[in-house]
Chains A and B, each alone.
Chain A
């Protein structure tokens, strides 16, 4: 009976630790940016639209998922993507790529996403 209790406790502990590990791993791979309310109006009046770098650098397999949360009342473009008002866009990059394009919440209306290959990917020069 005591052995069964120990086994049951071990099952529970391993399960919880495994679940935490998996969920944290996905969180660590994600980069989140927020477009604040009024970003469009700020841009139109010459103020910064959002706290966003001009270039976002990601790495496949390590930091490869981007989430853009749009809290503004208008749709925003971020290079090849758009984010509807009060929603979020999520994209995981599985391959190296570079995107440049129009950004409606950057003052200079330009953005760049660089996705580097995984450190263990020796097939890419």
Chain B
């Protein structure tokens, strides 16, 4: 009788340990993205814009890698430089950041010539790519991202005019699908976590 009771207790302890392991494995395997997740990810058509060297750039040039896409402009007083700085901060803790592209698409092609944009974007890092082109071409690229931009005349501003624009950061996966997005003011650590998770998935 004592032997059976002891055996039963051992089985219960083993079952509880197995249950804890099962629950733990479920938690680990179900990574919760910090960014807003699109399910299913949205396939993106290829597009062509001009880079800061005056050369054509295609989104398909980044197929097979993760690409962060942002719409902004160099005369933006706060939102754009802050967001680019947050991206730079996030990438500092991504060991494989060479597999991540950051594409900054200007919504102010009138002032953001390739030269102007090149000087601006180079301050953030070599993985940052600046794109600028005729407004009609940029407008076509905005649409599938659900983004917008519009010129706003501002009286008395030394900048002449401002451009109101969506301030989301978009994450395109290696299959050229829109997977995640981050609102302005996101925590760099959240982007770091998601990037590392995706990169680990690609290498495993």
Q: Which residues of A contact B (CB under 8 A)?
A: 3-4, 6-8, 10-11, 14-15, 18, 22, 75-77, 79-84, 87-92, 94-95, 97, 99
| Chain B residues touching A, majority SS | mixed
The answer to whether B168 touches A10, judged by C-beta atoms less than 8 angstroms apart, is no
Is B12 a contact partner of A83 (Cβ separation < 8 A)? no
Residues on A with C-beta less than 8 A from B178 are 84
Q: A88-B39, A89-B37 given; name 5 further pairs at CB < 8 Å.
A: A7-B12, A18-B22, A18-B23, A77-B146, A89-B38
B-side interface residues, number (CB < 8 Å): 35
Map CB proximity to A onto B1-14 as digits: 1 under 8 Å, 0 otherwise.
Answer: 00011011001100
Q: Tell whether, in the assembled complex, residue A10 and residue B12 are in contact, meaning their CB atoms are under 8 Å apart.
A: yes
B156-179 residues at the A interface, CB under 8 angstroms = 166-168, 178
Interface majority SS on A: helix, strand, loop or mixed?
mixed
Which residues 35-59 of B sit at the A interface, judged by CB distance below 8 A? 35-40, 42
Contact check, B15 vs A84: say whether CB atoms are below 8 A apart: no
Cβ of B12 and Cβ of A91 under 8 Å apart?
A: no
Could you tell me the distance in whole angstroms from the C-beta of B76 to the nearest C-beta in chain A?
17
**What residue of chain B has the Cβ atom nearest to residue A67's Cβ?**
B39
Q: Does any Cβ of A come within 8 Å of B19's Cβ?
A: yes
| Chain A residues, CB < 8 A from B36 | 81, 89-91
Cβ of B35 to closest chain A Cβ, rounded Å? 8
Q: List 27 A-B contacts (CB under 8 A).
A: A3-B4, A3-B5, A3-B7, A4-B11, A6-B8, A11-B11, A11-B15, A11-B18, A14-B16, A14-B19, A18-B19, A22-B23, A75-B146, A81-B36, A81-B183, A82-B146, A82-B168, A84-B146, A84-B178, A87-B38, A87-B39, A87-B40, A87-B42, A89-B39, A90-B36, A90-B37, A97-B185
Known: A3-B7, A11-B19, A15-B19. Is A99-B38 also a contact (CB below 8 A)?
no
Is B146's CB under 8 angstroms from A80's CB? no
